[in-house]
């Protein structure tokens, strides 16, 4: 089972890597969007999938990152990629400040508070808060990123930037998932009283998960701003948060391959359904319902954690 | 002061509609712990069905204005209840034993489906109710002009809320609903048909949402296929504000949200009113983590 | 396994969009789903109707035209995708789209692909100030309308003015333009704020506005909200005159407000075909009514029809589908081309020239009367 999965992942990775050579600019750009949402959804997955916090306002941090990049880039002309960590930092700090008082809220109460956050941020952006966000016009004239002297401009160039970033994200988040920290998150997701009893400072861990997720979303905002060269508040509305939420749950909470597949489906299918014109979103909605009915835990739920007890006990017990 | 009272009545009328929709959220949540994101779209469907019935049946020919409204309301509530029950059967029942969030995604999918179905059936343009159904008289109180219909909206919401409350507290089915809300397993063991209870909840909740849709159509006149999303979000906020799962809480939350919005618009800024409402919500939840009337649930041990 | 299948599916679908030869392809980018779906579907109907007419008359220089429609969903990210998709399909020009921010997200992509873009509803000033060679629009710009609004308000003799917008890029732009001009002229702006679009109850806003005691209210948002404002204003027994921007030009406004509440409402707009005597406008009205059994809704959708007609005219006149020639023709040679919304010429920024705006007033029967 495990080997088969690995073969599929490798084959998938190779096809993806080569895809700009046989896809046209449009499909490459679809894949770019899928890539951006994959990274966003992976960052949400830390909060929603691993820590089990009902967070439906991830677009807020994504927006903060994008606007940080846009504002600093257009006023001080600092190269885009230098602003990558800055965007992450701003989003992460914001998460630290806002999450502290709300992190103890139970499930659905947290859900509405995070929805509130994304709406407050959007309204602030629309109303041109502090005179720096450009109101509903947004900010335009953001420069393109330059990587080692190469100006990134065309869809296929962005493809490698975005999926390169996605690969790094997948690697790091996979390590995180398998670390003590990741196990602690899963523990408090399943039973936070028991986790607290076992010496896990649950509020602290939840907060860290929140900040990591927000930090990463902020960095995606940076790339999004550079790719679009114009950003407007409408790109970060509540619906975007819902889309991310759906990706994580449709793919499989807490499963990296699941989340990747989820973003392919949630972003790719409406594009494929374009041939149905005005009915495309109708079909998409029905698809979501059907998918959840047949795969209630998501399409690719995480494999159960395995611990190599066999190694400890010698060869006798196979797991 | 006059201005204050005027704004208060404005807020209460809007809040009455939020409350009516919030009742549906809260009922479903109480029993299934499910946030029914498609509830806003059931509200939209109610508004559109009301328009269809109104223009095709020609009820105005043999009934007075209030007769028309009552007959129409009963028909719309019945039809939307059927849609709601079908939704439960198709999209939620298969997910009942799985994780709560799986049903949320199913609900979001259903919401997208309904919204686009309404658009495909009725078209994307605004639809407009006939103007002359309800009398447009205003009452003069304290030197203010308060449209009669605003009072009626508020009154209808309160009457429905009280009716629902009595139904839940006093009837046998109501007791069954409460039992299922506390513990489905135990309720089953006591001989309660939980499936039937859930079905009833999904008949009542959507019916109330449909009634709210009809009210919005009749009073404001203009309806469009995306309106359920906005109202749904507001009503969900209201339900949480009052303490979700709690019927008087939904009523209080709805009215309060309407008033906060009106006051925010009046005394701070119109453009920021939704942000103000969410800020108040967050502050309230920080102080009372389960909403205004929500029960203090003991941490599970 | 599923992923591989999925990928194969993408490939198959791509193969499906192979190029068919012999026709002139013109793209239409419109919001046919999402919040602006009603405008977008109108655009699609009108552009398809006109294309059918052109083809029925033998096409352009003997070649048929084919319209490829892509949905921009009314949001910038989807629009960028739609633009990428259209630019890979061998089209000559793109008609659309509606919202300014949405157009902006697609501008760069079309420009890089060397495709002509004729926007129909994007009135933000900056769109044509970037020096993009292939961008044009059939709609006027916000500054032009701001000036007309200012003149109208001034000639009405109003002293204290309330301005209400809806925080959309377009409505705020217009509100700001008008406000700046009015303030320079010494008028008293007693109220300036934004409502939340797509709500149903604006009585809180009206109550607040009424307390500011304006002589006139200038609302720069869309017809849906304008209709509700008028209706709720009448319920409050408040008789202040209302002036609307060009986004209020839609017959649905009267349906929403009701005849009695809409009577006396004034708005600014480019002329709609209903009000023009020209042969083109009349023929279009007849054909539209015949095919869709209704009157065209918004003027913006009609402007997308004009977009198609100018592109077709340029192809016909130059006998070429080369973008550089077409743009040169449109910007320099096209002179008072008879459009569905009056005569059309473009300046070298790609903006439509000429005094386009008219003042309309709603009469007691809910009809729009050009002043």
Q: What is the pLDDT of residues A107-149, one digit of tens each?
A: 888 888 898 999 899 889 888 888 788 777 788 778 888 888 7
- The set of chains that have 3 or more CB pairs under 8 A with C is A, B
A310 pLDDT tier (thresholds 50, 70, 90): low
Do residues C190 and C230 share a domain?
yes
- Residues pairing with C162 in the sheet: C191, C217
Alpha helices for B221-246 (secondary structure H): 227-242
CA C369 vs. chain centroid, Å, equals 20
Average pLDDT over residues B256-274: 89
Q: Which member of A30, A135, A232 has the closest CB to residue C172? A: A135
In angstroms, the CA C347 to CA B268 distance is 44
Poorest-confidence range of B87-101, B141-155, C288-302? B141-155
- Residue C369 domain flag: no
Question: What integer pLDDT is reported at residue B238 of this predicted model?
Answer: 92
Cα-based distances in Å from A76 to A145, A146, C103: 15, 16, 27
Residue of B nearest to C31 (CA): B124
Do residues C158 and C245 share a domain?
yes
Q: Which residues does chain B have within 8 Å of residue C207's beta carbon, measured at their own beta carbons?
A: 3, 6-7, 10, 266
- Residue C5 domain flag: no
Query: ipTM score of the complex?
Result: 0.83
Closest-CA distance, B140 to chain A, in angstroms, reads 37
Q: Which residues does chain C have within 8 Å of residue A230's beta carbon, measured at their own beta carbons?
A: 76, 101, 104-105
pLDDT at C256 over 90: no
Domain final residue pick, C242, C269, C296: C269
Cβ distance of C84 and A155 shorter than 8 Å? yes
Do residues C151 and C129 share a domain?
no
Do residues C30 and C129 share a domain?
yes
Cβ distance of B286 and A106 shorter than 8 Å? no
Q: Which residues does chain A have within 8 Å of residue C70's beta carbon, measured at their own beta carbons?
A: 274
Do residues C293 and C243 share a domain?
no
pLDDT at A303 over 50: yes
Length of chain C: 371
Give the tens place of pLDDT for each residue, A22-81.
887 788 888 998 999 999 999 999 999 888 888 888 999 999 999 999 999 988 888 888
Question: What integer pLDDT is reported at residue A315 of this predicted model?
Answer: 57
Q: Which residues does chain A have within 8 Å of residue C6's beta carbon, measured at their own beta carbons?
A: 264-265, 268
Do residues C131 and C46 share a domain?
yes
Do residues C27 and C106 share a domain?
yes
Residue of A nearest to B99 (CA): A297
CA B91 vs. chain centroid, Å, equals 20
The whole domain housing C134 covers 22-140+277-344
Question: What integer pLDDT is reported at residue C2 of this predicted model?
Answer: 47
Give the tens place of pLDDT for each residue, A136-193.
778 877 888 888 877 777 788 889 999 999 999 999 998 988 888 888 888 888 887 8
Closest-CA distance, B247 to chain A, in angstroms, reads 17
Question: What integer pLDDT is reported at residue C13 of this predicted model?
Answer: 46
- Residue C353 domain flag: no
Question: What integer pLDDT is reported at residue A107 of this predicted model?
Answer: 80
* Ordered DSSP codes for C192-248: EEEPPTT-S--HHHHHHHHHT--SEEEE-S-HHHHHHHHHHHHHTT----EEE-GGG
Q: Which member of C4, C71, C84 has the closest CB to residue A11? A: C4
Cβ distance of C201 and B10 shorter than 8 Å? yes
Q: Among A70, A95, A108, which residue's Cα sits nearest to residue A235?
A: A70
User: What residues contact residue A213 under an 8 Å CB cut-off, 6+ apart?
Assistant: A43, A44, A45, A46, A47, A55, A58, A61, A95
Tell whether A301 is within 8 A of chain B (Cβ): no
- Residue C352 domain flag: no
Average pLDDT over residues A269-287: 80
Do residues C192 and C181 share a domain?
yes
Do residues C152 and C180 share a domain?
yes
A131 compared with C95, residue with greater pLDDT: C95
Residue A189: φ, ψ to 5°: -65, -45
Q: Which residues does chain C have within 8 Å of residue B7's beta carbon, measured at their own beta carbons?
A: 204, 207-208
Tell whether C12 is within 8 A of chain A (Cβ): no
pLDDT at B230 over 90: no
- Residue C128 domain flag: yes
Residue of A nearest to B26 (CA): A108
Mutate to test the interface with B, among A97, A108, A123, A244 (most CBs of B within 10 A): A108
pLDDT at B74 over 50: yes
A and C: number of Cβ contacts within 8 A = 97
Q: Which member of B126, B138, B269 has the closest CB to residue C224? A: B126
Q: Which member of C3, C6, C105 has the closest CB to residue A230? A: C105
Buried b (16+ CB within 10 A) or exposed e, C192-212: bbbbbbbbbbbbbbbbbbbee
Closest-CA distance, C156 to chain A, in angstroms, reads 31
A1 pLDDT tier (thresholds 50, 70, 90): low
Q: Which residues does chain A have within 8 Å of residue C108's beta carbon, measured at their own beta carbons?
A: 229
Domain final residue pick, C269, C295, C327: C269
Q: Is the peptide bond before A201 cis (omega within 30 degrees of 0)?
A: no
Question: What integer pLDDT is reported at residue A311 of this predicted model?
Answer: 63
Tell whether A10 is within 8 A of chain B (Cβ): no
State the SS3 of B277-295.
Answer: HHHHHHHHHHHCCCCCCCC
Residue of A nearest to B271 (CA): A127
In angstroms, the CA B193 to CA B184 distance is 10
C19 pLDDT tier (thresholds 50, 70, 90): very low
Cβ distance of C228 and B124 shorter than 8 Å? no
Token output for C306: 């004009």
In angstroms, the CA A271 to CA C82 distance is 9
State the average pLDDT for chain C. 85
Cβ distance of B266 and C37 shorter than 8 Å? no
Residue of B nearest to C296 (CA): B125
Residues of chain A above pLDDT 70, percent: 95
Question: What integer pLDDT is reported at residue B297 of this predicted model?
Answer: 54
Give the tens place of pLDDT for each residue, C266-324.
998 888 787 777 888 888 888 888 888 887 877 888 899 999 999 999 998 888 888 88
Cβ distance of B290 and A109 shorter than 8 Å? yes
Q: Which member of A33, A264, A281 has the closest CB to residue C77? A: A33
Tell whether A299 is within 8 A of chain B (Cβ): no
Q: Which residues does chain A have within 8 Å of residue B261's beta carbon, measured at their own beta carbons?
A: none
Residue C137: φ, ψ to 5°: -150, 150
Mutate to test the interface with C, among A16, A136, A153, A156 (most CBs of C within 10 A): A136
Q: Which residues does chain B have within 8 Å of residue A105's beta carbon, measured at their own beta carbons?
A: 285, 289
pLDDT at C11 over 50: no
Rounded to the nearest 10°, the torsion over CA A182, A183, A184, A187 is 130
Cα-based distances in Å from C207 to A134, C67, C242: 29, 48, 15
The answer to whether residues B234 and B253 touch, using CB atoms and an 8 Å cutoff, is: no
- Residue C370 domain flag: no
CATH number at residue C226: 3.40.50.2300
Question: What integer pLDDT is reported at residue C3 of this predicted model?
Answer: 47
Give the tens place of pLDDT for each residue, C165-181.
988 878 888 888 889 99
Q: Which member of C211, C228, C252 has the closest CB to residue B125? A: C252
Question: What integer pLDDT is reported at residue A312 of this predicted model?
Answer: 61
- Residues pairing with C24 in the sheet: C65
Question: What integer pLDDT is reported at residue B235 of this predicted model?
Answer: 92
Token output for C1: 């396994």
Cβ distance of B10 and C194 shorter than 8 Å? no
In angstroms, the CA B28 to CA B130 distance is 33
- Residue C371 domain flag: no
Cβ distance of A278 and C41 shorter than 8 Å? yes
Q: Which residues does chain A have within 8 Å of residue B113's beta carbon, measured at their own beta carbons?
A: 282, 285-286, 289
Question: What integer pLDDT is reported at residue C12 of this predicted model?
Answer: 45
Q: Which residues does chain A have within 8 Å of residue C33's beta carbon, measured at their own beta carbons?
A: 278, 280-281
Domain total in chain C:
2
Q: Which residues does chain B have within 8 Å of residue A249's beta carbon, measured at their own beta carbons?
A: 101-102, 104-105
Cβ distance of C252 and B126 shorter than 8 Å? yes
Q: Among B231, A278, B163, which residue's Cα sits nearest to residue C70?
A: A278
Token output for A24: 């046209």
Domains of chain B by start residue, with CATH? 2-287 (1.10.3470)
State the average pLDDT for chain A. 85
Tell whether A123 is within 8 A of chain B (Cβ): yes
């Amino acid at each position: 089972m495990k080997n088969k999965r690995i073969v599929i992942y490798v084959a998938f990775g190779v096809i993806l890597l080569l895809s700009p050579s046989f896809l046209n600019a449009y499909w490459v750009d679809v894949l770019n969007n899928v890539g951006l949402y994959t990274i966003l959804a992976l960052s949400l997955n830390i909060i929603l999938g691993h820590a089990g916090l009902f967070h439906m306002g991830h677009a807020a941090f994504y927006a903060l990152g994008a606007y940080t990049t846009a504002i600093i880039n257009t006023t001080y002309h600092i190269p885009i990629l230098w602003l990558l960590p800055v965007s992450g930092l701003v989003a992460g700090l914001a998460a630290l400040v806002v999450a502290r008082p709300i992190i103890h809220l139970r499930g659905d109460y947290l859900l509405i508070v995070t929805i509130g956050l994304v709406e407050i941020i959007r309204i602030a952006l629309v109303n041109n808060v502090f005179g720096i966000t450009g109101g509903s016009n947004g900010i335009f004239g953001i420069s393109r990123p330059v990587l080692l002297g190469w100006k990134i401009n065309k869809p296929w160039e962005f493809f490698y930037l975005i999926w390169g970033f996605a690969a790094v994200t997948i690697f790091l988040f996979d390590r995180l998932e398998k670390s003590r920290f990741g196990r602690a998150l899963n523990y408090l997701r399943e039973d936070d009283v028991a986790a607290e009893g076992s010496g896990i400072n649950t509020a602290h861990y939840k907060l860290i998960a929140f900040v990591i997720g927000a930090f990463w979303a902020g960095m995606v905002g940076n790339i999004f701003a550079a790719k679009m060269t114009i950003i407007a508040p409408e790109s970060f509305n509540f619906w975007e948060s819902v889309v991310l939420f759906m990706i994580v749950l449709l793919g499989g909470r807490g499963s990296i391959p699941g989340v990747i597949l989820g973003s392919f489906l949630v972003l790719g299918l409406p594009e494929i359904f374009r041939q149905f014109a005005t009915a495309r979103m109708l079909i998409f909605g029905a698809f979501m319902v059907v998918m959840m009915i047949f795969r209630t835990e998501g399409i690719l739920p995480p494999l159960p954690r395995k611990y190599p007890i066999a190694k400890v006990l010698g060869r006798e017990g196979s797991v | 002061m006059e201005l204050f009272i005027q704004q208060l009545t404005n807020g209460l009328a809007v809040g009455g509609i939020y409350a009516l929709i919030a009742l549906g959220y809260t009922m479903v949540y109480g029993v299934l712990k499910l946030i029914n994101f498609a509830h806003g779209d059931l509200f939209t469907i109610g508004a559109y069905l009301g328009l269809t019935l109104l223009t095709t049946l020609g009820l105005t020919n043999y009934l007075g204005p209030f007769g028309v409204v009552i007959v129409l309301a009963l028909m719309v509530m019945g039809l939307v209840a059927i849609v709601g029950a079908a939704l439960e059967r198709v999209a939620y029942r298969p997910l009942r034993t799985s994780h709560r969030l799986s049903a949320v995604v199913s609900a979001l999918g259903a919401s997208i489906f309904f919204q686009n179905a309404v658009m495909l059936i009725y078209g994307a343009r605004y639809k407009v109710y006939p103007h002359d159904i309800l009398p447009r008289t205003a009452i003069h109180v304290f030197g203010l002009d308060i449209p009669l219909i605003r009072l009626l909206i508020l009154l209808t919401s309160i009457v429905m809320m009280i009716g629902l409350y009595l139904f839940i507290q006093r009837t046998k089915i109501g007791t069954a609903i409460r039992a299922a809300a506390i513990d489905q397993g135990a309720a089953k063991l006591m001989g309660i048909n939980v499936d039937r209870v859930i079905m009833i909840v999904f008949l009542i909740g959507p019916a109330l949402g449909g009634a709210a849709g009809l009210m919005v159509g009749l009073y404001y006149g203009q309806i469009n296929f995306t309106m359920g999303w906005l109202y749904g979000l507001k009503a969900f906020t209201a339900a949480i504000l009052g303490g979700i799962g709690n019927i008087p809480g939904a009523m209080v939350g709805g009215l309060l949200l309407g008033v906060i919005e009106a006051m925010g618009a009046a005394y701070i800024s119109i453009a920021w009113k939704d942000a103000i409402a969410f800020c108040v919500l967050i502050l309230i939840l920080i102080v009372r983590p389960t909403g205004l009337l929500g029960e203090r649930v003991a941490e599970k041990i | 396994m599923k992923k591989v299948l999925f990928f194969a599916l993408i490939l198959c679908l791509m193969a499906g969009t192979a190029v068919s030869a012999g026709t002139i392809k013109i793209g239409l980018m419109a919001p046919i789903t999402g919040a602006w779906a009603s405008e977008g579907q109108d655009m699609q109907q009108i552009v398809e109707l006109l294309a059918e007419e052109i083809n029925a008359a033998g096409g352009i220089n003997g070649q048929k035209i084919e319209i490829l429609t892509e949905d921009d969903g009314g949001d910038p990210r989807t629009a960028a995708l739609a633009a990428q998709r259209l630019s890979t399909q061998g089209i000559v020009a793109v008609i659309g789209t509606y919202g300014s921010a949405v157009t902006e997200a697609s501008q760069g992509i079309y420009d890089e692909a060397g495709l002509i873009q004729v926007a129909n509803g994007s009135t933000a000033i900056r769109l044509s100030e970037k020096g993009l060679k292939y961008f044009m629009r059939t709609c006027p710009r916000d500054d032009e309308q701001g000036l007309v609004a200012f003149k109208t308000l001034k000639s009405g003799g109003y002293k204290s003015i309330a301005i209400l917008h809806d925080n959309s890029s377009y409505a705020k732009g217009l509100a700001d333009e008008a406000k700046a001009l009015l303030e320079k002229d010494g008028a008293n702006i007693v109220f300036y704020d934004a409502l939340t679009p797509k709500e149903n109850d604006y009585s809180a806003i009206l109550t607040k506005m009424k307390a500011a005691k304006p002589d006139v209210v200038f609302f720069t948002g869309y017809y849906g909200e304008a209709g509700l404002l008028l209706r709720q204003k009448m319920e409050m027994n408040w008789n202040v005159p209302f002036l609307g921007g060009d986004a209020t030009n839609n017959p649905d406004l009267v349906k929403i407000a009701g005849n009695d509440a809409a009577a006396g409402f004034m708005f600014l707009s480019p002329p709609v075909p209903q009000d023009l005597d020209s042969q083109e406008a009349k023929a279009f009205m007849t054909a539209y009514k015949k095919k869709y059994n209704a009157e065209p809704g918004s003027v913006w959708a009609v402007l997308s029809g004009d977009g198609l007609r100018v592109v077709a005219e340029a192809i016909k006149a130059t006998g070429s589908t080369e973008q550089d020639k077409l743009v040169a023709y449109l910007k320099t040679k096209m002179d008072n081309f008879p459009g569905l919304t009056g005569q059309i010429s473009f300046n070298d920024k790609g903006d439509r020239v000429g005094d386009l705006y008219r003042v309309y007033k709603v009469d007691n029967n809910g009809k729009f009367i050009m002043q």
